[in-house]
Amino acid sequence: MKMIHDGNFSGWMRVTLLFGGIAILVGGLACEEVPSLVRIVAFCGGFTMIALGGFCSRAHALNVKPFDSSYKKARKIYEDS
């Protein structure tokens, strides 16, 4: 199981980030017994996971590779010899 496949998160990782983030966000908002700081951290962490999963899904749909190292090849092309 690879987390990064072809310069982007693999499909199972994107889905896990999305649904895991939703679960953490809703769980943080639903628990009234825990201190408010824990609820705020859970909300922010869940929101961040949802955003990361959504951005990676959009990058996959547009065939963008955010975790690829192809910029190194482009940098070598423009170096002064």
Structural domain count of the chain: 1
Question: 4-5 and 8-9: which strand pairing?
Answer: antiparallel
- Give the pLDDT confidence of 3-52 residue by residue, as tens digits: 888 888 889 999 999 999 999 999 999 988 889 999 999 999 999 999 99
The helix/strand/coil state of 33 is coil
Instruction: Report pTM.
Output: 0.78
Residue 46, domain extent: 4-77
- pLDDT tens-digit readout, 61-70: 998 888 887 7
Report residue 5: phi and psi, to 5°.
-130, 125
Find tokens 């966000």 and name the residue. Answer: 25
